[in-house]
C-alpha cells in the first residue's frame, strides 16, 4: 500500500480497511467511524452540525439535488480548484456511498429554511 506522508490519523482510518474484504455496505463499526469522520473532519469545514463554515452548509434538501452516485463521486474526488478535498485515500467507494446516503437522508440539518 502506498501511503504518501502517513499520519497517525491516516493509519487509524486505514487500518480497518486493510484487514477487511470490502463489503457492499460498511459494517456497523465502520458506519460509526464514518459518522465521526462526517461531523469532525467534514465538519471542520462544513460545521459540526453541517450548517456551513469555510465550506457551505450541507442540508438534506440541498444534498438531494445530487444523485447518490454524483454525491459519492464528489466526496471521493473533491471539487477541483476549491478547498473541497477528495477523500479516496481514506475511504472506499462503499464508504463514500454510505456518506452520500447519510447526507441525503439522515443528518440533523434537513433544510436551511425551517425544520432542522
Ligand atoms: C478543507 C475544507 C473542507 C473539508 C475538510 C471538506 N469540505 Fe466539502 N467543501 C468544501 C468547500 C470549500 C466546498 C465548496 C466548493 C465550491 O466552491 O464549490 C465544499 C463542497 C462540498 C459539497 C458540495 C456542496 C454543495 O452545496 O453542492 C459537498 C457535498 C461536500 N463538500 C461534502 C464534504 C464531505 C462529505 C466531506 C468529508 C468527507 C467534506 N466535504 C470535507 C470544503 C471542505
Name all residues whose Cβ lies below 6 A of ligand 1. Answer: 37, 41-42, 44-46, 54-56, 58, 62, 71, 74-75, 79, 82-85, 87, 99
What's the gap in Å between 56 CA and the centre of ligand 1?
Answer: 7
pLDDT 10s per residue in the chain (116 long)? Answer: 555 555 444 445 555 555 555 558 999 999 999 999 999 999 999 999 999 999 999 999 999 999 999 999 999 999 999 999 999 999 999 999 999 999 999 999 999 875 44
Q: Write down the H helix ranges in 37-116.
A: 43-46, 60-63, 68-77, 93-105
Q: Where do the structural domains in the chain lie, given as residue ranges?
A: 28-105
Which DSSP symbol is given to 37? I
Provide the CATH topology of domain 28-105.
Answer: Cytochrome Bc1 Complex; Chain D, domain 2 (1.10.760)
State the cell numbers at 40.
Answer: 469532525
User: What's the pTM?
Assistant: 0.77
Among 96, 102, 98, smallest CA distance to 73 is for: 96
Question: In whole angstroms, how far apart are CA 115 and each of 60, 61, 75, 92, 109?
Answer: 11, 11, 26, 32, 8
Amino acid at each position: 500500500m502506498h501511503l504518501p506522508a502517513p499520519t497517525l490519523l491516516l493509519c487509524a482510518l486505514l487500518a480497518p480497511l486493510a484487514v477487511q474484504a470490502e463489503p457492499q455496505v460498511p459494517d456497523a463499526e465502520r458506519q460509526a467511524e464514518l459518522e465521526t469522520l462526517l461531523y469532525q473532519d467534514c465538519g471542520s469545514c462544513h460545521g459540526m452540525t453541517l450548517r456551513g463554515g469555510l465550506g457551505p452548509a450541507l442540508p438534506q434538501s440541498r444534498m438531494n439535488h445530487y444523485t447518490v452516485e454524483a454525491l459519492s463521486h464528489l466526496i471521493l474526488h473533491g471539487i477541483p480548484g476549491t478547498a473541497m478535498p477528495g477523500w479516496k485515500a481514506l475511504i472506499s467507494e462503499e464508504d463514500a456511498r454510505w456518506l452520500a446516503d447519510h447526507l441525503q437522508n439522515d443528518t440533523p440539518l434537513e433544510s436551511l429554511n425551517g425544520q432542522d
